[in-house]
Amino acid sequence: MNAHACHDHATMKAAVLLGCTALVLTVTGPAAQAAAPARDLGRQTLAAGDGWASDAGGTTGGSAATAEHVYTVTTWAQFKAALQDGGSAPKIIKVKGMIEAVSEGCEAFVAGGYDLQQYLKDYDPAVWGNDKLASGPQEDARVASAANQDGVIKAAVPSNTTIVGVGRNSGILGGSLQIKAVSNVILRNLTIEAPLDCFPMWDPTDDTGTGAWNSEYDAVVVYGTDHVWIDHNTLTDGRYPDSERPSYFGKIFQQHDGLTDIVRGSNYVTMSWNSFKDHDKNMLIGNSDSTASTDAGKLKVTMHHNKFDGILQRSPRVRFGQVDVYNNSYVVTEEQKSDYYVFGVGISSQLYASDNAISLPAGASVGKVLKKWKESPLTAVNNYVNGQLTDLIAVHNAEIPAETLQSGAGWTPTLRTKVDSPRAVPYIVNRGAGAGKVC
């Protein structure tokens, strides 16, 4: 079932068809007499040709689950129990409503006498300096407290699993989905609020010796895993935006890490029709320059028809992978224009960015759309900035000559179901991306 035209059937001049993610309906049971209805998201699988996750056998998640392995959950405890039940047998987990991973609050995790005010006194740069890492009773207590939080908010997703939100407003608040060393996982129609690290670490030596607050916990981690389809989800900082975090020692008290990281030899991933909102460090594809032994030849990821609204950086930042980024919409805010970048070009990356639409505020540098981290040629064609066709590489090289980028990723994507005009992308993606908008 490839239903590319079911987001409101809106028209735009020459009848622009809004794109519903290409999908197929998996039929199970004897003689297929028990075929699921078209609206049963749990039984839907990724269509052939829809990005890297459709390659090498495709991605079906838990679509073949028997009745005893279909769960509807309304609490974090139920959700984690459903994940564990039945091992890697195909399973469908339906999340009903917004479920809270940390309903008790940060105080429930405090151990060893941790006290933020005492922590601030002990490691104030005026007292501790900036030439050594934090150590001592309060740092030990912070580590113990963080371990307590870690054990609660992380949820391990097994192979052959589909997790879907029920209706228009279902998902996870403050949990971290750990898709680690498994295969064949689908996440759809979920609103996911990024975890809030209750116990960030102060690193006095970070940020060129001026110190920084570092946090743990991504909303979604894909680690050493193959065949993942992440579709029609909304990922955001939600109730706890960075703009409302306090500052200590002149640095924001950073309690968020990434929204979605794809790392450590993960492969065959498609991210489609998601909405990423109001976040700083959004997405890593490859998380270290020193992981060639696990990442080279892998990290094949497709990103299409996603919306990035108020995202400061890493949409994505790429190392090693063949990454196809097309028909995405990017909106940079006025507050972000000095420090933003969209595409991070890292070691041995093969980024192919085409047919995207980027909206920048007045005075923002177009050259900063691309950020060079290491020497790696990329392809950037038919991208539009503020409605104008823009050669992103040429503009970057003209504005930032000290970080010249080379053209030519060395490959051409073929796993695409439909490429929309980049001029229509903001309209199409705004109407179709995110939770609650899936066919």
Domains and CATH numbers, the chain: 30-432 (2.160.20.10)
* pLDDT at res. 10: 39
What is the average per-residue pLDDT within 289-300? 98
Note the pLDDT of residue 8: 37
Residue 21 pLDDT more than 80?
A: no
pLDDT at 277: 95
Encode the chain in three state secondary structure: CCCCCCCCCCCCCCCCCCCCCCEEECCCCHHHCCCCCCCCHHHEEECCCCCHHHCCCCCCCCCCCCHHHEEEECCHHHHHHHHHCCCCCCEEEEECCEEECCCCCHHHHCCCCCCHHHHHHHHCHHHHCCCCCCCCHHHHHHHHHHHHHHHHHEEECCCCEEEEECCCCCEEECCEEEEECCEEEEEECCEEECCCCCCCEEECCHHHHCCEEECCCCCEEEECCEEEEEECCEEECCCCCHHHCCEECCEECCCCCCCEEEECCCEEEEEECCEEEEEEECEEECCCCCCHHHHCCCCCEEEECCEEEEEEECCCEECCCEEEEECCEEECCHHHCCCCCCEEECCCCEEEEECCEEECCCCCCHHHHEEECCCCCEEEECEEECCEEECHHHHHHHHCHHHCCCECCCCCCCCCCCCCCCCCHHHHHHHHCCCCCCC
- pLDDT for the residue 20: 55
Query: What is the residue-averaged pLDDT of the chain?
Result: 93
Question: Is it the case that residue 36 has pLDDT exceeding 70?
Answer: no
The pLDDT value given to residue 7: 41
Confidence of residue 9 (pLDDT cuts 50, 70, 90): very low
User: What is the pLDDT averaged over residues 58-84?
Assistant: 99
Residue 1 has pLDDT above 90, yes or no: no
Q: What percentage of residues in the chain have a pLDDT greater than 70?
A: 91
Instruction: Give the per-residue pLDDT at 39.
Output: 77
pLDDT single digits (tens) 112-147: 999 999 999 999 999 999 999 999 999 999 999 999
**Chain segment 357-391, per-residue pLDDT in tens:** 999 999 999 999 999 999 999 999 999 999 999 99
Asked about 314 being catalytic, the answer comes back as yes
Average pLDDT over residues 404-414: 99
Which tops the pLDDT comparison, 8 or 144? 144
Span 276-291, pLDDT tens digits: 998 999 999 999 999 9
Segment 83-107 shows an average pLDDT of 97
List 142, 314, 317, 319, catalytic entry: 314
The model's confidence at residue 32, banded by pLDDT at 50, 70 and 90, is very low
In the prediction, which pLDDT does 30 show? Answer: 40
pLDDT for the residue numbered 115 = 98
pLDDT of 33 over the 50 cut: no
So what's the pLDDT on residue 439? 72
- Flag whether pLDDT at 11 surpasses 80: no
Q: What is the pLDDT of residues 314-333, one digit of tens each?
A: 999 999 999 999 999 999 99
- Stated pTM of the model: 0.92
* Mean pLDDT confidence for 170-195: 98
Mean pLDDT of the region 393-409: 99
Q: How confident is the model at residue 243 (pLDDT cuts 50, 70, 90)?
A: confident
